[in-house]
Amino acid sequence: MDKKAMEGEEEKQTKEEEEVVVDCKTCKRCRHSYSPKSNNPNSCRYHPSFFVCRRHDDQKRYYELGADDPPYAAKFYDCCGAEDPQASGCVTSFHISYDDN
């Protein structure tokens, strides 16, 4: 490969890398980076509600409190009852960028 062809190839590769960087957005639901080109209805996994610190409703399972825990020691996602703050989301949808309205 001659020098001119190599320079052209390097320039093409640099432009492709720039497109990838520019094309990457951050989802405001799950905080992951994503490419709008590959965004689909199952791309984003998130909790639509907050991680709360209160008693579960009667319809939901109860957090096991220790003998010395106050009743408000129950911590869980209000949407699904998951008690681990790092639990994977209970809903899937498209990613939504901070640029979107």
Which structural domain, as residue segments, surrounds residue 75?
A: 24-93
The full 3-state SS of 15-74, as one line of letters, equals HHHHHHHHHCEEECCCCCEECHHHCCCCCEEECCCCEEECCCCCCCCCCCCCCCCCHHHC
User: What is this structure's pTM?
Assistant: 0.62
Residue 30 falls inside a structural domain: yes
Residue 48 falls inside a structural domain: yes
Residue 65 falls inside a structural domain: yes
Please compute the mean of the pLDDT values over residues 49-73 and round it to a whole number.
67
Residue 43 falls inside a structural domain: yes
Residue 98 falls inside a structural domain: no
The closest of 99, 95, 101 to 29, measured between CA atoms, is 95
What would the two tokens of residue 15 be?
């432009």
Domain count, the chain: 1
Please compute the mean of the pLDDT values over residues 56-71 and round it to a whole number.
60
Residue 64 falls inside a structural domain: yes
Residue 17 falls inside a structural domain: no
pLDDT digits (tens, 9 = 90+) for 12-59: 665 555 554 568 999 999 999 999 999 999 999 999 999 998 766 654
Cβ–Cβ < 8 Å for 53, 83: no
